[in-house]
Structure 1
Amino acid sequence: MTTTREPAGTAVSGAAPKAGLSGSLGVGSIVFMVVAAAAPLTVIGGSAPLGFLLGNGVGFPALFVVCAVILLLFAVGLVAMTRKIPKPGGFFTYIGHGLGKPAGLSAAYLALLTYTTIQIAVHGYVGYLISVSITSLGGPDIAWWVYSLAIVLIVGVLGYRHIDLSSKVLGVLLVCEVGIVLALVAAVVVTGGAEGLSAEPFMPTQIFSGSPGVGLMFAFAAFIGFESTAIFRDEAKTPDRTIPRATYIAVIGIGAFYTLASWALVMAWGPSNVVAQAAIDPGTMVIQTTLNYLGPVGELIINILLITSMFACVLSFHNVITRYQHSMSNAGLLPGKVGSVHHKHLSPHVSSIIQTATAFVLIVLFAVLQLDPVLNVFTWFSGVATLAIALLMALTSVAVVVYFRRTKSDARLWNTLIAPVLGFIGLIGAAVIIGVNFPFLVGDVDAAGVPVFGAVSAVLLGLIVVFPVAGIIQAAIIKRRNREAYEAITETIAS
């Protein structure tokens, strides 16, 4: 039976006890939630075709391997921190302990931006997909944003309730979507694909063709969510074992699955034709592929599962964001009411309502602005999230090194120095590449196709600057007004 518990951290003098979350999630449940956030079928059906089309074409599958290696190195340091700092705040907590409270607060706000933008991006895509699917079946032609708003409300209801309900829903949906993709991979392998099976996607000439920077952006975005295992610490069973295991299983499993599935997609159409097929309609490429290899029944199943995959993705990110806001509230960074825990569902219900309202308002805004749900909403905001998460992970890697060099609490060089440094090099390199190529993603190019940082790029990249600055300013204000509260910021998170 699950019960609420009070935080073990040091409370600010005179402050009311902070409401803590609790639960008994095992490794499997947490892996299901974070892998659902990574949305395997959504990546294969949405990001992969765009990676072929806008990125490095046939060589796109190899970029999943590159990202997996970088993130596995990052995970080594992350896991070391989870064992020494048993708190659920994720980036905010680890960066705060390693690099100081101002850096921690800037990370907290950048994390909120990351998970909000990726959730909004998928809300746009799922609305479009539902609209297209219903229309193709002879149903009414209803605008994408109507369906997006409906999904926002359904996710809000599930997010309001106990986390166990979300984990069960996500588990079922994840097993189904992975199953259909593996069936498609098997069909491609058995038939030999369109031009025979080959390792062409992993050849250097293909990897560095086209715009590998843009391709890296889509590949990196596919992993967003795996690092959120630590956020569920308070709701995990034996978290000292559960969180590390879930983290490693998630990043390795995600990397292997994406590499295999995207390779099969290339083989299904053939290296000479896959980019041209993606150009016809990237949003329905995987559906057409399934029709070719698994027939009408397979097409119907994957169409449904593609929608449920995106639903699972936004539900998982909704749970992540609400817990970030809950932790920030317990640390005194957001109003105390945001950290409330429902007496029956034991969920951060107020935080869930706030996030639901945020998503609802943003979808309405994009509808008024008449943004395209795939080329604008999905592409633009997944780009913002990808660059932001790369910077957050790079900063976390630095925090790991600084923390363990200062505290001497873990003498393992690989875990606390070598792997985090290698991870930082890979992450900061990825961030630079993504940043330089960002104008390509949003269409800010001149007549010759050269990227230029125009108005759209400036606004979107500006968000990545404004949110961390807001955190730094808040840290300065709290420090000036209440030094005791400032000192307790990273200690008042429930643990």
Structure 2
Amino acid sequence: MSLETTPVRPAEEPHEDAGRLRGSLGVWSIVFMVTAAASPLGVIGGPVPLGIAVGNGTGFPATYLIAGVVLLLFAVGFTALTPHVRDAGAFWSYIGAGIGRSVGLGAGFAALLSYVTLEAGVFGLIGPGLDALLVSYGVPSQPWWLYAALTFAIVSFLGYRNIDLSGKVLAVGLLAEVAIVLVLDLVIVVRGGADGLSTGIVDPSAITSGAPGLGILFAILSFLGFEATAVFRDEARDPERTVARATSISLVLITLFYAVSSWALISAVGDDDAVAQATDNGATLLADVTRDYLGSAGEHIIQVLFVTSLFACILSFHNIVARYVFTLAGGRALPGRLGTAHERHASPHLASVVTSAVVGVLLVIGVLADLDPIAEFYTWLAGFASVGVVVLYGLTGAAVVTYFARRPELRTQTGAWRTTVAPVLGTLGLIVFLGLILQNLTTLVGGSTPLAIGVVALLALSFALGPLVARRRPGVLDLE
């Protein structure tokens, strides 16, 4: 599987190779897939209150704009390389094309580990969330893992089938959750908030107040998964155009949605009370604001859509992980059978089954260890994933610059902005973000220094597997 400038097979030609995935995803289907992975409503109800409370307070919405700009710079280079990378491996295929096969293979293992832990971690949110929702309707409280198991079964079924089915499910849920938040934003703005609309988003003193580093940290966590547009290239109608457009659209929409909605949330409680409210009532801040501005009916809608948002997030990451397994197996980095598509569904069915098995094991470990589903199970796994994905972003940015530097004719054809300037600026910004995450990693993983060290060590080990496997299997992932 060469990653050189191999022409991509047009979507209208028949796919006779049973080993390839098939689908008819357009730009907006992929946008729905990756935006759902970002869990917009889940972010507004989770990372946003945390960013306000322990980050830079009323200036926190501006951190979404900062993070969005850096990631857009990264995406400029990312999409410039897309036409020259045929394989749907995202991180490992891009890094392998630019830096080398061994590093690319290590990146593939690190991406697989990062995403599967993030998928498993969100089960720690949806279990308690679904329980709280049903309790509000009079259903007796149940253990969180019972609802996590139910969600697990549904996600495993959808992941086994064709991607178009998952895309339709995600589209419906995503539109509903975005719609209710936008309605809430509009009502807050029309009513003028608690004490007038917040000015923190444009106030330099507010943006730099408190701990802006932690603010950036929670902002960057909210974007995880947007780059997975490239994972779906085999199932897109026109991969070269679809992936590039979907990536840019997803980033712009996510950035604006987070910035505007977090600003509206602060406006709803007032600049003077925002930090105190987020600190004391962070878990219920979104529901409380919704009740105040949309009434009890709005509060119930938010509760329902919060759960569906988390479900969409899990399903999206499950699809992403399954496709990483599929493409790594196709490159002989994993058992070859996992790289075979289902004859009827044209889905990575065996890769999906393996993904479900690994997530299931992580869930069982969490339950048997009696971990708190949110404070420990979710927080620790999300902390691990955040480190891995930002490292991979940075390596991918460096790979873009290296790839075009070795091919001056392509660099001239594509332009210096897309091949050099933007990816370099984006990579430098990501290095800063990584430093902030490592500086606060202990906080992310529940205050445990040994666990923080373990996170870094495990990621380093996954990267080290790349050169090791590459040496033992010379033909694996022939990227160079």
TM-score category (smaller protein)? over 0.9
Within a 5 Å distance, the mapping from 1:450-469 to structure 2 comes to 454-469=449-464
Q: CA deviation at 1:148?
A: 1.3
Contact 1:2 1:24 in 2 (8 A): no
Could you say which residue in structure 2 is the equivalent of 1:99?
99
Query: 2 CA distance for matches of 1:269 and 1:464?
Result: 40
Query: 2 CA distance for matches of 1:100 and 1:322?
Result: 23
The worse-fitting range, judged by mean Cα deviation, of 353-362 and 309-318 is 353-362
Code of the residue aligned with 1:355 in structure 2: it is: T
Output one character per residue of 1:386-445: Cα deviation in whole Å (capped at 9) or x when no partner. Answer: 22111101101111111111122231100000001001100011001111111122343x
Within a 5 Å distance, the mapping from 1:113-192 to structure 2 comes to 113-192=113-192
Could you say which residue in structure 2 is the equivalent of 1:330?
330
- TM-score normalised to the size of structure 1? 0.91
Q: CA deviation at 1:4?
A: 7.6
Code of the residue aligned with 2:411 in structure 1: it is: D
The worse-fitting range, judged by mean Cα deviation, of 108-117 and 96-105 is 108-117
Contact 2:380 2:446 in 1 (8 A): no
Could you say which residue in structure 1 is the equivalent of 2:197?
197
Could you say which residue in structure 1 is the equivalent of 2:282?
282
Could you say which residue in structure 1 is the equivalent of 2:8?
none
Query: 1 CA distance for matches of 2:56 and 2:16?
Result: 51
- SS of 1:81 mapped into structure 2: helix
> Which of 429, 434, 438 is the matching residue for 2:437?
434
Query: 1 CA distance for matches of 2:223 and 2:478?
Result: 29
Could you say which residue in structure 2 is the equivalent of 1:475?
470
Within a 5 Å distance, the mapping from 1:403-414 to structure 2 comes to 403-408=403-408, 409-411=410-412, 412-414=415-417
Query: 2 CA distance for matches of 1:52 and 1:129?
Result: 22
Code of the residue aligned with 1:397 in structure 2: it is: G
Within a 5 Å distance, the mapping from 1:77-88 to structure 2 comes to 77-88=77-88
Query: 1 CA distance for matches of 2:466 and 2:88?
Result: 19
The worse-fitting range, judged by mean Cα deviation, of 50-59 and 20-29 is 50-59
Contact 2:23 2:162 in 1 (8 A): no
Could you say which residue in structure 2 is the equivalent of 1:383?
383
- SS of 1:72 mapped into structure 2: helix
Code of the residue aligned with 2:106 in structure 1: it is: S
Q: CA deviation at 1:77?
A: 0.5
Code of the residue aligned with 2:423 in structure 1: it is: P
Query: 2 CA distance for matches of 1:275 and 1:282?
Result: 9
Query: 2 CA distance for matches of 1:6 and 1:32?
Result: 28
Contact 1:4 1:19 in 2 (8 A): no
Contact 2:51 2:60 in 1 (8 A): yes
- TM-score normalised to the size of structure 2? 0.94
Could you say which residue in structure 1 is the equivalent of 2:4?
none
Q: CA deviation at 1:51?
A: 1.7
Query: 2 CA distance for matches of 1:272 and 1:278?
Result: 12
- SS of 1:410 mapped into structure 2: helix
Q: CA deviation at 1:6?
A: 5.4
Unaligned runs of 5+ in 2: 1-10
Q: CA deviation at 1:209?
A: 2.8
Could you say which residue in structure 1 is the equivalent of 2:342?
342
Q: How many residues align?
A: 467
- SS of 1:193 mapped into structure 2: coil
Output one character per residue of 1:361-407: Cα deviation in whole Å (capped at 9) or x when no partner. Answer: 11121122222222222222222222211110110111111111112
Query: 1 CA distance for matches of 2:318 and 2:389?
Result: 16
Q: CA deviation at 1:304?
A: 0.4
Change (3 A) 1:54 1:149: farther
Within a 5 Å distance, the mapping from 1:260-409 to structure 2 comes to 260-408=260-408, 409=410
Query: 2 CA distance for matches of 1:167 and 1:25?
Result: 8
Query: 2 CA distance for matches of 1:136 and 1:474?
Result: 52
The worse-fitting range, judged by mean Cα deviation, of 194-203 and 419-428 is 194-203
Contact 1:214 1:440 in 2 (8 A): no
Contact 1:217 1:383 in 2 (8 A): no
Q: CA deviation at 1:144?
A: 1.2
Query: 1 CA distance for matches of 2:239 and 2:205?
Result: 44
Query: 1 CA distance for matches of 2:66 and 2:193?
Result: 25
Q: CA deviation at 1:88?
A: 1.0
Could you say which residue in structure 2 is the equivalent of 1:215?
215
Within a 5 Å distance, the mapping from 1:1-20 to structure 2 comes to 5=15, 19-20=19-20
Contact 1:221 1:385 in 2 (8 A): no
Q: CA deviation at 1:280?
A: 3.1
Could you say which residue in structure 2 is the equivalent of 1:258?
258
- SS of 1:22 mapped into structure 2: coil
Could you say which residue in structure 2 is the equivalent of 1:425?
428
Q: CA deviation at 1:3?
A: 9.5
Query: 2 CA distance for matches of 1:242 and 1:125?
Result: 32
Code of the residue aligned with 2:478 in structure 1: it is: I
Contact 2:383 2:444 in 1 (8 A): yes
Query: 1 CA distance for matches of 2:212 and 2:121?
Result: 22
Output one character per residue of 1:243-278: Cα deviation in whole Å (capped at 9) or x when no partner. Answer: 111111011111011000011111111122222222
Change (3 A) 1:457 1:356: same
Code of the residue aligned with 2:78 in structure 1: it is: L
Contact 1:380 1:441 in 2 (8 A): yes
- SS of 2:46 mapped into structure 1: helix
Query: 2 CA distance for matches of 1:29 and 1:91?
Result: 21
Could you say which residue in structure 2 is the equivalent of 1:13?
none
Could you say which residue in structure 2 is the equivalent of 1:489?
478
Code of the residue aligned with 1:458 in structure 2: it is: I
- SS of 2:271 mapped into structure 1: coil
Output one character per residue of 1:87-115: Cα deviation in whole Å (capped at 9) or x when no partner. Answer: 21111111101111111011101111221
Q: CA deviation at 1:293?
A: 0.6
Query: How many percent identity over aligned positions?
Result: 44
- SS of 2:440 mapped into structure 1: helix
Could you say which residue in structure 1 is the equivalent of 2:246?
246
The worse-fitting range, judged by mean Cα deviation, of 271-280 and 68-77 is 271-280
Code of the residue aligned with 2:109 in structure 1: it is: Y
Q: CA deviation at 1:118?
A: 1.8
- SS of 1:25 mapped into structure 2: coil
Code of the residue aligned with 1:381 in structure 2: it is: L
Q: CA deviation at 1:201?
A: 3.6
Query: 1 CA distance for matches of 2:348 and 2:127?
Result: 26
Unaligned runs of 5+ in 1: 8-17, 445-452, 480-484
